[in-house]
Amino acid sequence: MTLRLGDTAPDFEQDSSIGKIKFHEWAGDSWVVLFSHPADFTPVCTTELGLTAKLKPEFDKRDVKAIALSVDGAEAHNQWIKDIEDTQKTVVGFPIVADVDKKVAGLYDMIHPNQSETATVRSLFIIDPKKKVRLIITYPMSTGRNFDEVLRVLDALQLTDGYTVATPGNWKDGDDVIIPLSVKDEEVIKQKYPKGYTSPRPYLRITPQPNK
């Protein structure tokens, strides 16, 4: 199965480091960052899970739940968590799915045979409260993820869901945003964007971030 943006994130029931998880039920009405790892007790993944644990206050601000996955079992996950907490100086406050039968890996297309027949690639999904897939990023096994980018995209998605705007390249929270081309009526523009806008080209209209 190949997931695309806008698809409903597949539900699953699977064991984890905190016991059985029914994914949609566990997610509730929150945003979710679901990310996979090739295996437990691997160096890059250890740093990534440590970073995710340290980002809990930032995820909480955005109503985001984190959940990791690898094809190892729950017992191995719990042993690995001890290493993560010791070496990364943090507390892992999110579950790690024990996808021993690779059921979830199949649902989310996390096994790429040209990389490995057995291990999940380093995939990351942002899933919104309606259970729709909003972002998919897949990294090579040797490259650690940029979690600043994950937070940036969460901010952009939540902003653009709440307001009729788009975000330019390299946008960060607080930067100016773009008025979409779909908004044409000047009276509507005045109502929606009371801070005004600049327009270096007819198709490029820049306005201050509306919720700042």
What structural domains and CATH numbers belong to the chain?
13-144 (3.40.30.10), 163-207 (no CATH)
The one catalytic residue in 9, 27, 33, 45 is 45
Whole-number pLDDT of residue 120? 55
Would strands 21-22 and 13-14 be described as parallel, antiparallel, or unpaired? antiparallel
Active site residue 45: yes
Whole-number pLDDT of residue 146? 94
- DSSP letters for 10-65: PP-EE-BBTB-EEHHHHHTTSEEEEEE-S-SS-HHHHHHHHHHHHTHHHHHHTTEE
Q: Kindly state the average pLDDT of the residues 33-41.
A: 92
Is residue 199 within a helix (H) or strand (E), and if so which, with residue range? Answer: strand 198-201
Euclidean distance between CA atoms 164 and 210, whole angstroms: 9
Euclidean distance between CA atoms 195 and 42, whole angstroms: 50
Would strands 177-178 and 133-139 be described as parallel, antiparallel, or unpaired? unpaired
Whole-number pLDDT of residue 140? 83
Residue type, 202: P
Predicted TM-score (pTM) of the model is 0.92
Give one word for 131, left, alpha or beta, with left for phi > 0 and alpha for psi -120 to 50: left
Q: Kindly state the average pLDDT of the residues 71-87.
A: 96
Euclidean distance between CA atoms 196 and 58, whole angstroms: 31
- Check pLDDT > 60 for residue 49: yes
pLDDT above 90 covers a percentage of the chain that reads 83
Question: What is the C-alpha R_g of the chain?
Answer: 19
